């Protein structure tokens, strides 16, 4: 290839990179440490779900699909708890996660599905409250549970890292898994979405 062929080709590649960046396609790749966003919206007062108090999706979660999530004891198959979760399906939804949410009703959560199981790391970027971060393998078995407290005042939470292995990541209220006696090895059943 001569210079007359290379320059237009480089121009096309550069234009594609600029368009991809502007569309937010590279946002998950541009954060430190290979953060793989898997978090999502929350609910506040208006949508009936689990027989509990009325709840409503926060404005940024309006476009999210919802699903039921039931956790059972890995040995006895007894139901330990269930939540209604917003599903973070797009890269932007996964990147944002719960960071634009002020609080999370007790029986709500956010589910981050991936195409396959892998090592992942979640951070507390922009979080105003603590959460449990639950990693789930392709078979629905819980592989890791983190109790991630609210970042200290004045910190963005990016430096608080919670690694695990899974095809799914479920974010719940802080210490929800403790209150429901959920442990590594228990099983998660996901509804349709």
How large a percentage of the chain has pLDDT more than 90? Answer: 56
Report how far residue 189's alpha carbon sits from residue 32's, in angstroms, rounded to the nearest whole number: 32
pLDDT in tens, 92-137: 999 989 988 888 888 999 999 999 999 999 999 999 999 999 999 9
pLDDT in tens, 20-65: 655 555 554 444 333 333 333 333 333 333 333 333 434 446 678 9
Question: Tokens standing for 142?
Answer: 């819980």
CB 117 within 8 A of CB 165: yes
State the chain's mean pLDDT as an integer: 80
Report how far residue 136's alpha carbon sits from residue 171's, in angstroms, rounded to the nearest whole number: 11
Q: Please report the pLDDT score of residue 101 as a whole number.
A: 85
Q: Which residue has the higher pLDDT, 7 or 76?
A: 76
């Amino acid at each position: 290839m001569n210079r007359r062929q290379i320059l237009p080709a480089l121009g096309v590649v550069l234009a594609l990179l600029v368009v991809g960046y502007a569309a937010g396609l590279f946002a998950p790749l541009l954060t430190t440490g290979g953060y793989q966003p898997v978090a999502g919206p929350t609910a506040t007062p208006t949508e009936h779900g689990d027989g509990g108090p009325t709840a409503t999706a926060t404005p940024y979660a309006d476009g999210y699909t919802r699903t039921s999530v039931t956790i059972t004891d890995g040995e006895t198959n007894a139901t330990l708890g269930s939540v209604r979760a917003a599903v973070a399906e797009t890269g932007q939804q996964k990147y944002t996660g719960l960071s634009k949410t002020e609080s999370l009703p007790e029986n709500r959560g956010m589910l981050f599905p991936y195409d396959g199981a892998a090592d992942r790391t979640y951070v507390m970027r922009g979080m105003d409250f603590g959460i449990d971060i639950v990693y789930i393998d392709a078979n629905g078995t819980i592989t890791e549970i983190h109790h991630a407290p609210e970042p200290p005042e004045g910190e963005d939470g990016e430096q608080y890292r919670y690694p695990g292995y899974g095809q799914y990541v479920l974010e719940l209220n802080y210490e929800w898994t403790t209150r429901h006696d959920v442990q590594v090895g228990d099983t998660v059943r996901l509804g349709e979405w």
